[in-house]
Structure formats: structure tokens, C-alpha cells
Amino acid sequence: MIEISLKGRGGQGVVTAGELLTKAVIAEGKYAQSIPFFGGERRGAPVSSEVRVSDKPIPLHRRVYNPDVVTVFDTTLLEILNPLEGIKENGVLIINSDNPKKYWKNTYYVNATEIARGLGLVVAGWSVVNTAMLGALVKVTGIADPELLEEAVMEEFPGKLGELNAKAILLGSREVRALD
């Protein structure tokens, strides 16, 4: 089983990212669950979504405490929270950053904000970075088939919005880099 912790702020699409990833994994014939966690429902508040993926049924139905992968949609969270708490020894960190720092030994980065803005994926001034981050996550981990992820996005967001989000997945996948 692989456990993933998606960390971001309200308005960045963190909860939707967990749901989309789960849909893509289930379409592959695997088992998955998405568990959103947030406090006050307001734009900008810290939000997390935790995802489990397995080839076998998943008996756990609780938060993820020792993730294999942590994605951070907003680096300011690294200053106020400890998103790396409990990460496994060989865990992977994927951050949205235009000026990345090595926060963990296995750190990857992508400028998902730039991707979202370039595609016009902005709502009320907030860049919706979820699909670009999912593209990076899938590229780094191989956890889901990118085509099935795009299908899940197109199903969730039909039309032009789905096309833009599918493009964000592709760009996130292409632009993610390891930080040495």
C-alpha cells in the first residue's frame, strides 16, 4: 500500500486532487481511498487530502500518519506546519515552487502556480494548482496511469475546463524536476 498526503490551502484544489487521483487508480483496477481533512471552510486555510492506493482491499479508514509521498501545493505551509511529519525514511516530497529548496532528501519540484496561471486556471485570484501537481505526482511515483487521470479530469470537468486541466497534468508531468 502507498500512502500519500496532499497539503495545500483552500482554493487550490487539494480535496479535488485526492478525489481525481482515487478515480484514476480505481479505473486501473486497484483499490484507493481519499480522505479530506480541513478546519474552517474558507479560502486560504490549510487543507489536506490523504490518499491510499493498493492492489488489495484497504482495511484502514483513518488519516495517514506515515506517508510515502507528501505533496505541498503552497510552500508557505512549510513555515507554519510540518507537512513532513511522519514521512517514511525513503519518502518523496513534491513541492510547488518557483524557487525550490531541499526540504527533504528526495525532493522534487514543479512550478504548478505558473502552469495554472498560464492556462487561466485561476479562481478569485487563487491559482488552482491541483492538476499540475497531480501530473508531477504521477510522473515521479508512477502511481496512476496518466491517461486514466486525464479521463477522470475530463469526466469531472467537461468541456474547455477539462481540457485545460488535462493540459495542466501534462505540463506538470513534463516540468517536474528532482532537486539534488
What is residue 104's predicted lDDT score, i.e. its pLDDT? 94
Give the residue from 137, 136, 167 showing the smallest Cα distance to 150: 167
Predicted structure pTM score: 0.95
Distance from C-alpha of 16 to C-alpha of 18, rounded to nearest angstrom: 5
> What pLDDT, in 10s, does the model give residues 63-114?
999 999 999 999 999 989 899 999 999 999 999 999 989 999 999 999 999 9
CATH topology of domain 2-179: Pyruvate-ferredoxin Oxidoreductase; domain 3 (3.40.920)
> What pLDDT, in 10s, does the model give residues 154-173?
999 999 999 999 999 999 99
Distance from C-alpha of 143 to C-alpha of 8, rounded to nearest angstrom: 20
> What pLDDT, in 10s, does the model give residues 19-66?
999 999 999 999 999 999 876 666 778 899 999 999 999 998 889 999
- For the chain, the domains span 2-179
Task: Give me the phi and psi of 54, to 5 degrees please.
Answer: -155, 160
Strands of the sheet with 177-179, listed across from one edge: 31-38, 46-54, 2-9, 69-72, 92-96, 107-110, 177-179
